[in-house]
A and B are shown apart, each in its own frame.
Chain A
Amino acid sequence: MNRIRLFLKRLAGRSIAVRLAVSAVFWSFAILLISGLILAALYRDNTERAFDQRLLVYANTLASNLVSPGDAERDLGPIGDPRFELPLSGWYWQVARPNAKPGEVRSSKSLFGGQLPSLAPDAEAARFGEIRRGYGKAPDERGLRLIERDIDLGQEGRFIIRVGGPADEIEDSARRFSFALFVTFSLLGLALGFTTLLQIRFGLQPLAQLRGALGAIRRGEAERIQGEYPRDIAPVASEINLLLETNREILERARTQVGNLAHALKTPLSIIVNEAEGAPNEVKVREQAVIMRDQVNYYLDRARAAAMAGTLGTLTEVEPVLRALARTFDKIYRDKNLQIEISTSPATRFRGERQDLEEMAGNLIDNAAKWAVGHVKITVEQQQQDERPWIHVVIDDDGPGLPEGAREEMIKRGRRLDETKPGSGLGLSIVSDLAALYRGRLKLEASPLGGLRAKLELPGDGG
């Protein structure tokens, strides 16, 4: 019992559909079973009563034959049914005085000289005129349905009339009915089960829809739950939307505040640097200011990225981001006559924030553009890795490149290998850190163009 309860609990715990199905099956089974039993009992009772009615007709015939004027001891049969004439046919009657000796008993030929059992153990004590019903055994040991009636013929005295028929007939009829009932109810049960499944399907369909909508948000295909929902779960949908909105607001606020902090720190820093101009310690101040700026940038980026981690996924189209960056670098390096070439398919998407992709690609392209002689090539490839989609953003330049050992160093935090080119030495390490937050990574290799190749591996769109 305990085991069954545990099993049910585990089943029910798994899904609402299973819960509904299990309870529907349980209750319909119980109701069908109980009503089946009641119906079978009622039917049996009815059949028995009808059978008794027939036996009573025979008993009444016997009684009226008995009362007819004439010798009270004369032959009473036949009473209309030939089966009483056939030996051991199952149909018997018997008329006797109370406490009659075996020789004084009159009975149907079918009884073959045997006796019908008495339904009143103590015939004297039995109430007079009463009709008794019951089961007994024929001389051939077959079951009998019996009725017993006492009649008083005045001066001729009292008689007990017994009529019996085969109990099998009642049993057979009841069994046939039960079988039909079983078949009907089984079909009914199956039909009920099927309709229950349909109902569950139909009834729970909004939940499935809700799950689909949440999945779309998770995959970044939707920003909020859309569509009509029934009254029962509409509040859930709107609560989720509110939650998403709050989440976005918090993220947005964190970003704004990070930006404000940057502004608040860097403006005074600019003033300090400018004030120090011409002062004896100008170089030192400027150097420290650069370190401060880099540190502020680094930790603000980290803080912003940490605020991003754990939010629901968004998808960013890669191509527009790269095109916008290329436009920007065309302007920044316009004196250099730089050629920035992009090859990607429009469908390529990055599973993450646009700003982060811009930051990573921006730093890498900036680095490439800074060192390139005249050519920067950006290639985006889609890859399947561990059965998940990845995008590889490969940025090549035709600059001097880096020796193998130095490439590793470059990615490490705060390392700047060459101070002769302006820009933050933290750029590549920020790219590497950001990529790691997305479970991706940055690799530096030798480029076929002759310079450095930066390969950014990021999660793509799983559809």
Chain B
Amino acid sequence: MRLLVVEDDQTLNHQIVTALEQAGYAVDKAYDGEEGQFLGETEPYDAIILDLGLPKVDGVSVLTSWRREGRKMPVIILTARDRWSDKVQGFDAGADDYVTKPFHMEELLARVRALLRRATGHASSEIVCGPVRLDTRSGRVMVDGNPVKLTSHEYRLLSYLMHHTGRIVSRAELTEHLYDQDFDRDSNTIEVFIGRLRKKLGVDIIQTMRGLGYLLDTDRTSA
């Protein structure tokens, strides 16, 4: 899952990015509206955390412009302005959630998780695929009730595939959603991680669709 944080305060931006990275997301950051707008228009983010009081272009304009361009990724507005008129404006511009400052990081993380789940059509914080169980809240993975230890990259890969169960996910899509901008992308690494993941899970739920990508198929695994 790849996220974007648009916040002009350096310290707060760093805090949020660190917390999200620790929670297992690939995170990009922008410090003003212009940069944020550009990234949101060009990169395929799974969710965006957007401050409203931004230099150059304000947050509502950025959001409006994304929605006008047809970008549908979930957006959480982060702002100090917590009057209802500001919130109404934010939601009407196309926001999916609204967090007011000062906020507690856990609350923000919970909102991000909820939004990602909702965006991929999952109702609870636990995603189950055959014998594999992914708890998005704690970041734990169980196979047949036994915990499996994964590295953050492996977790990201599994989490993305489990959020998109039943759909073929291309290698390019995985690269785009698993790594932040600055990461040195090498398509071979995906294959390496898939291999490690299969080994660690011990169950064959990840199918390779030659020339297309990977598929997590519940029907086959549950059988």
Q: Which residues on A are within 8 Å of B, measured CB to CB? A: 259-260, 262-267, 269-275, 277, 286, 289-290, 292-293, 297, 301, 324-325, 327-328, 331-332, 334-335, 354-355, 358-359, 361-363, 366
For A358, the chain B residues whose CB sits under 8 A away are: 83-85, 88
Whether B15 and A275, one on each chain, are in contact in the complex, defined by CB atoms closer than 8 angstroms, is yes
In the bound complex, how far is the Cα of B11 from the Cα of A271, in angstroms?
Answer: 7
Tell me, rounded to whole Å, the shortest Cβ–Cβ distance linking B63 to chain A.
13
Give residues of chain B (54-80) contacting chain A, Cβ–Cβ below 8 Å.
Answer: 79-80
For A286, the chain B residues whose CB sits under 8 A away are: 104
Which one, B95-103, B130-138, B142-150, B167-175, is touching chain A? B95-103
Whether A267 and B91, one on each chain, are in contact in the complex, defined by CB atoms closer than 8 angstroms, is no
Whether B11 and A263, one on each chain, are in contact in the complex, defined by CB atoms closer than 8 angstroms, is no
Please give me the 10 A-B residue pairs with the lowest Cβ-Cβ distance, nearest first.
Answer: A362-B84, A266-B80, A266-B101, A269-B102, A263-B80, A270-B102, A358-B85, A328-B91, A270-B101, A355-B85
Does any Cβ of A come within 8 Å of B12's Cβ? yes
Tell me, rounded to whole Å, the shortest Cβ–Cβ distance linking A26 to chain B.
59
In the bound complex, how far is the Cα of B186 from the Cα of A267, in angstroms?
Answer: 38
Does any Cβ of A come within 8 Å of B191's Cβ? no
- Assuming the contacts A259-B81, A362-B84, asked whether A270 and B12 have C-beta atoms less than 8 A apart, the reply is yes
Whether A359 and B98, one on each chain, are in contact in the complex, defined by CB atoms closer than 8 angstroms, is no
In the bound complex, how far is the Cα of B163 from the Cα of A316, in angstroms?
Answer: 45
Chain B: CB-nearest residue to A274:
B15
Q: B83: which of A332, A335, A355 is its contact (CB, 8 Å)?
A: A355
Tell me, rounded to whole Å, the shortest Cβ–Cβ distance linking A295 to chain B.
12
Q: A271: which of B9, B84, B118 is its contact (CB, 8 Å)?
A: B9
For A354, the chain B residues whose CB sits under 8 A away are: 85
Does any Cβ of A come within 8 Å of B204's Cβ? no
For A263, the chain B residues whose CB sits under 8 A away are: 53, 79-81, 101
In the bound complex, how far is the Cα of B102 from the Cα of A277, in angstroms?
Answer: 13
Whether B101 and A269, one on each chain, are in contact in the complex, defined by CB atoms closer than 8 angstroms, is yes
Whether A327 and B101, one on each chain, are in contact in the complex, defined by CB atoms closer than 8 angstroms, is no
For B118, the chain A residues whose CB sits under 8 A away are: 334
Q: A266: which of B84, B85, B87, B102 is its contact (CB, 8 Å)?
A: B102
- Among B11, B82, B102, B104, chain A packs the most CB atoms within 10 A around the CB of B102
Whether B80 and A265, one on each chain, are in contact in the complex, defined by CB atoms closer than 8 angstroms, is yes
Other than the known A270-B102, A328-B91, A366-B84, what 16 A-B pairs have Cβ atoms closer than 8 Å? Answer: A259-B81, A262-B81, A262-B82, A263-B101, A264-B80, A270-B103, A271-B12, A273-B102, A273-B103, A274-B19, A274-B104, A275-B15, A289-B102, A327-B92, A331-B91, A361-B84
Tell me, rounded to whole Å, the shortest Cβ–Cβ distance linking A340 to chain B.
14
Whether B81 and A332, one on each chain, are in contact in the complex, defined by CB atoms closer than 8 angstroms, is no
Does any Cβ of A come within 8 Å of B209's Cβ? no
In the bound complex, how far is the Cα of B19 from the Cα of A259, in angstroms?
Answer: 27
Whether B9 and A267, one on each chain, are in contact in the complex, defined by CB atoms closer than 8 angstroms, is yes
For B9, the chain A residues whose CB sits under 8 A away are: 267, 271
In the bound complex, how far is the Cα of B102 from the Cα of A271, in angstroms?
Answer: 8
In the bound complex, how far is the Cα of B105 from the Cα of A275, in angstroms?
Answer: 10
- Among A262, A271, A274, chain B packs the most CB atoms within 10 A around the CB of A274
Tell me, rounded to whole Å, the shortest Cβ–Cβ distance linking A44 to chain B.
85
Whether B84 and A359, one on each chain, are in contact in the complex, defined by CB atoms closer than 8 angstroms, is yes
Chain B: CB-nearest residue to A259:
B81
Whether B87 and A362, one on each chain, are in contact in the complex, defined by CB atoms closer than 8 angstroms, is yes
Whether B92 and A324, one on each chain, are in contact in the complex, defined by CB atoms closer than 8 angstroms, is yes
Tell me, rounded to whole Å, the shortest Cβ–Cβ distance linking A113 to chain B.
116
Chain B: CB-nearest residue to A355:
B85
In the bound complex, how far is the Cα of B84 from the Cα of A366, in angstroms?
Answer: 10
For B53, the chain A residues whose CB sits under 8 A away are: 259-260, 263
Chain A: CB-nearest residue to B83:
A359
In the bound complex, how far is the Cα of B11 from the Cα of A361, in angstroms?
Answer: 35
Whether A363 and B80, one on each chain, are in contact in the complex, defined by CB atoms closer than 8 angstroms, is no
For B105, the chain A residues whose CB sits under 8 A away are: 273-274, 277
Tell me, rounded to whole Å, the shortest Cβ–Cβ distance linking B125 to chain A.
12
Tell me, rounded to whole Å, the shortest Cβ–Cβ distance linking A150 to chain B.
110
For A293, the chain B residues whose CB sits under 8 A away are: 101-102
In the bound complex, how far is the Cα of B203 from the Cα of A83, in angstroms?
Answer: 157
In the bound complex, how far is the Cα of B85 from the Cα of A359, in angstroms?
Answer: 7
For A327, the chain B residues whose CB sits under 8 A away are: 88, 91-92
For B85, the chain A residues whose CB sits under 8 A away are: 354-355, 358-359, 362
Whether B12 and A324, one on each chain, are in contact in the complex, defined by CB atoms closer than 8 angstroms, is no
- Assuming the contacts A270-B12, A327-B92, asked whether A363 and B84 have C-beta atoms less than 8 A apart, the reply is yes
In the bound complex, how far is the Cα of B51 from the Cα of A271, in angstroms?
Answer: 14
- Assuming the contacts A267-B12, A271-B9, asked whether A325 and B84 have C-beta atoms less than 8 A apart, the reply is yes
For A260, the chain B residues whose CB sits under 8 A away are: 53
Tell me, rounded to whole Å, the shortest Cβ–Cβ distance linking B22 to chain A.
11
Whether B88 and A267, one on each chain, are in contact in the complex, defined by CB atoms closer than 8 angstroms, is no
What would be 14 A-B contacts, judged by CB atoms less than 8 Å apart? A259-B53, A259-B80, A266-B101, A271-B9, A273-B104, A273-B105, A292-B102, A293-B102, A301-B83, A327-B91, A332-B97, A355-B83, A359-B83, A362-B87
In the bound complex, how far is the Cα of B83 from the Cα of A301, in angstroms?
Answer: 9
Tell me, rounded to whole Å, the shortest Cβ–Cβ distance linking A102 to chain B.
118
Tell me, rounded to whole Å, the shortest Cβ–Cβ distance linking A426 to chain B.
11
In the bound complex, how far is the Cα of B83 from the Cα of A359, in angstroms?
Answer: 6
Tell me, rounded to whole Å, the shortest Cβ–Cβ distance linking A73 to chain B.
124
Whether B80 and A332, one on each chain, are in contact in the complex, defined by CB atoms closer than 8 angstroms, is no
In the bound complex, how far is the Cα of B99 from the Cα of A293, in angstroms?
Answer: 13
For A277, the chain B residues whose CB sits under 8 A away are: 105
For A274, the chain B residues whose CB sits under 8 A away are: 12, 15, 19, 104-105
Chain B: CB-nearest residue to A272:
B102
